Structure 1
Amino acid sequence: MTGSFSGAVSRRALLAALGMLSLSACAPGVATSATPKPAESAPSTPTAPSTAAPVAPTAAAATTTRTTKVVWSNWAVDAGSKDRLAEQKDGFEAARRSVALDIQNTPSAEYMTKLLATYAADQAPDVSRLNTEQLPIFAARGQTSDLDVLSTPAADSWLKRADIKPGLVDRYRLAGKLAGLPYGGDMDALYVNRTLLGATNQSVPPSDYEDATWTYDRALALAQALTKRRADGGADQLGIDIGGYRYEGHVENAGGSWFSIDGRSFRGHEPGAAAGIDWLAALVRKHKVAAAPATDESRAFAFASGKLAMSWSSVSQVSNRLRDVADRFDWDVYPVPRWGTNPRVVKSGFSALILSARSKQRDAAWDFLHWVTGPVGSLPDVETGWSVPVFSGLDSRYFVRVGPKKNLSVALNGPKYPSKFPMWTNPNYAEAWRRVQTAIEQVFQGAGTAADVLGGIRAEVDAMLAKS
């Protein structure tokens, strides 16, 4: 997903580093007297997509003396991401002639170590990107500003807009305070090789969420019809893959969850969650329509190979598939299926942008944070397809720069089917999840049913979650 990175440090290392912070760095957030300069707002209903390149700063702007510097830390090191951030820097500085934006990008594997070191030295960036698992730890230590305090005085703050998609901002309120704002949103989707379906006269899945006939049972039947194996058992074509990254969508659609709502106990062994994992395991072991994850076979049958009919992924990957698949075969994006008659859940994932409680340029930093997550500053993210829109008023601009259109309704309508569970807020989640992930892999390898294997780690995981 867009909102994640693989370089997260362990909980123990994270808390140890946070423990190095001085008492002054743990001071409360911003004062209530701050009244930041309101950021511009885009029209609620844009009349036409904007695909033009950003306007270069004028000579006058280039020579303007910038008296304030705002530092923004991110892990956007690939070329496309750096281009987006450079465009946002140009746009913000053109509108704020006295402010210089310093973007500090660090590879994900090194990002958290570097960020924690800056906090320990009381030199934290003004605005930082975090995963949602990390946000509660920073918030609990008093390292994030309460953004409600800053947004309330501004009459035209975008947080007051009526077209914010349901739940996207409220998820960032922790202990009654708005600890961050959503940034870089993604959403679950199913990629389908339409060429393979056409070759076997199979109908493609419904293109929208309204069709209740698109179920997990139907997805399995389609995968079975599209799998081709030789007499020796080897695969020439596979019907579907397993996907990855926590399998939360499958678990919640099946009626379960990994953890209790309060985050204090493990629930992965209970019927709903176990059914979701058993369904995935059966794709490999019983039905033989999928490859086990992280194997040579799964890599050989990646979606871009043209030998995989369906692939669980996320909508942000459309831009990647336009590059690595292009038009070698006909493909599109479809909704995740529904589990029987259960309410449909479409998992979304955003990271967070926070404002350091110790920022020495608080008002300017809030001005930038509000701008870059708002309807003007987020346009490069939305128009390139890197992020799903937070505002329904920007839906018409989603992916307009990319070129060939795919089934974008999957991303635009997915927020209508949100998870009922809050973001993971227990500071011990990272450690607990590593243990859960190992157990899931054992289920995929045939060590037992999900209920048995995951039930066997329940006490161990509960003990991890209970650590102070």
Structure 2
Amino acid sequence: MAVAASALLTVGLLAGCGSNGGNEGGASPSADASAGAGASKPAKEEKVTLQFWRNSGNDAENSAYDKLVASFMEKYPNIKVQMSPIPYADYDTKLRTSIASGNPPDIMAIDAPNMASYAQAGALKPLTDYFKADGDLQDIPETTMSAYTYQNQIYMAPLTESSIALFYNKKMFEAAGIPLPSKNPEEPMTWDQVLDAAKKLTNPAKGVYGIDPAQGFQNAGATAYFKYPIIWQFGGEVMSADGTTSKGYLDSPETKKALQFFSDLYNKDKVSALEYPPDPFPNGKLAMTVDGSWSLSYYADKFPDFKLGEDWDIAPLPKGTKQAVANGSWALAVSSKSKHPDEAWKFVNWVTGHDGQKTYTSITKDIPVRYSVAKEYPELSEYPKNVFVVQNQKFGRSRPVTPIFPQMSEAVNKLFEDVTIGKRNIDAAAADAIKKIDKAYADLQSQAK
């Protein structure tokens, strides 16, 4: 997401959509329950056209959506779905503009961290009653659904997950006589064990570093996905549960301990570098890295001689006092302005339900969020993919669900940079981050009045 564009359009979005969408009270229980329960159809159904916007993906994602849309319209010939794939770089701006102008699509794909800002502005139809009627909620981990829930209302239906794990150079470990990490998703190394190994594996003369703990310093979104788990693993928090403040959370002893440990990897222990050459892990310049499930195919394609199981392996994310990994991905929402919310839900449920999810993931090879679908892929129950699946199902946590996610994420990103790159005092840096976050929430509240 383009954070700057999102922040600039927040006022327009609020003006165009009104107050908190939760005040709408969700779907009509009588209408939604009957629709979900498969009530008898009227003699003649109205022909309906639904506009569906999504960010354009890779060839596999586009193919999967094409297949799902076609199969849905074959099943429901009275509902036409006009799908509009929009380039990622333009998507958020175009979607917010359409909402502010009062002409949004019926169905829209939204990245999990952005959900609360749309919901707060009243742009999304609450889906709680629909889910209770026929959404098969028990088939989705509660921790996953928390990423799509704001002020006790479900606003989006999830389709897939991604996850991150510890990738390590097996041959480097063996050459240094370091015991190999467990492949059991519930038996991670501790961060102290990772640090000990990193010290033994770091060789500045050869340009080899022990650990990239969180994919360096990229944009704020990458910070949220890779660095928040480190805070959680040390027992800290980023924001309050209601997403209104970081006071008492970013400045807690546990969070400050995580920040200090992270900074020390670079400045005290010198096992991490601020910059690396291209593809340092497969090129032998990085002994360990925290990376995503998507990199399995990347390494297999781009570095065929760097073989999983021979040259490198995967272990669960390290822990401090607990295991934790960020969850939440792109999901589908229904516009609060849609004239056909029941039909829109029917399509959303078609795509994200068991059969649709299986169709989608069989093409894209993504990790499905539903327990039932994951069980149907034997490889997801086996190493290495089971590491990603089990972590998400048992230790997944949503990034802070807050309508000021872009501003909050930017502040936390700068906090990590300040204490690591700028070597700034943690107390002072945390205080500044909290001030920025709390001001962003206060500004949002004043705009909504």
**The two structures share one fold, judged by TM-score above 0.5:** yes
Counterpart of 1:204? 180
**Of 400, 403, 407, the match for 2:384:** 407
CA contact (8 A) 1:92 1:377 kept: no
Instruction: Return closer, same or farther for 1:9/1:159 CA change in 2, 3 Å cut-off.
Output: farther
**Residue 392 of structure 1 pairs with residue 371 of structure 2:** yes
**How is 1:377-456 mapped onto 2 (pairs within 5 angstroms)?**
377-383=356-362, 387-398=366-377, 406-418=383-395, 423-456=399-432
Structure 1: distance between partners of 2:434 and 2:399: 21
Query: What does the per-residue CA deviation read over 1:86-109, in whole Å, with 9 as the maximum and x for residues that have no partner?
Result: 232233334333333322122222
Matching residue within 213, 219, 237 for 2:208? 237
- Structure 2 contact 379–385 (Cα < 8 Å) conserved: no
Is the aligned partner of 1:90 residue 2:70? yes
- Matched residues in 1 for 2:379 and 2:72: separation? 21
Report how many aligned residue pairs link the two structures: 418
**Separation (CA, whole Å) in 1 of partners of 2:113 and 2:325:** 19
**One-letter amino acid of the counterpart of residue 300, structure 2:** L
Q: Report the secondary structure of 2:140's partner residue.
A: coil
Within the candidate set 210, 218, 223, 2:193 is matched to: 218
Specify the code of the residue in structure 2 equivalent to 1:333. Answer: I
Over the aligned positions, Cα root-mean-square deviation in angstroms equals 3.0
Task: Quickly say closer, same or farther: Cα 1:333–1:195, change in 2 above 3 A.
Answer: same
Residue identity in the other structure for 1:307: K
Tell me: CA distance 1:437–1:92, structure 2 relative to 1, closer, same or farther (3 Å). same
In the TM superposition, what is the alpha-carbon distance from 1:430 to its structure 2 partner? 1.7
AA at the equivalent of 1:360: K
How far apart are the structure 2 equivalents of 1:198 and 1:85? 44
Contact 1:196 1:309 in 2 (8 A): yes
User: How much has 1:22 moved relative to structure 2?
Assistant: 6.3
Equivalent residue runs for 1:236-275 within 5 Å: 236-244=207-215, 245-246=223-224, 247-266=227-246, 267-275=249-257
Once the two structures are superposed, what CA deviation does each residue of 1:317-350 show, in whole Å capped at 9, x if it has no partner? 32333322334243332101121xx232232232
Write the letter of the residue equivalent to 2:121.
R
Counterpart Cα distance in 1 of 2:426 and 2:370: 39
Q: Once the two structures are superposed, what CA deviation does each residue of 1:102-123 show, in whole Å capped at 9, x if it has no partner? A: 2212222211111122223333
Pairs within 5 Å for 1:110-149? 110-149=90-129
Offset from partner CA, 1:10-37 (integer Å, 9 cap, x none): 5542322213426699894644424436
Q: Residues of 1 paired with 2:78 and 2:282: CA distance? A: 47
Q: 1:385 to 1:188 in 2, by over 3 A?
A: farther
Aligned to 2:300: 322
Q: Distance in 2 between matches of 1:211 and 1:278?
A: 24
Q: TM-score, normalised by structure 1?
A: 0.80
Structure 2 residue identity aligned to 1:220: L
Please list every run of 5 or more consecutive structure 2 residues that lacks an aligned counterpart in the other structure. Answer: 39-45, 216-222
Aligned mates of 1:416, 1:133 — CA distance in 2: 19
Aligned with 1:356 (options 335, 347, 357):
335
Change (3 A) 1:288 1:171: closer
1:248 deviation in Å? 0.6
In structure 2, the CA distance between the partners of 1:146 and 1:428, relative to structure 1 (3 Å rule), is closer
What amino acid sits opposite 2:351 in the alignment?
V
More helix by share: 2
Q: 1:431: Cα distance to partner? A: 1.8
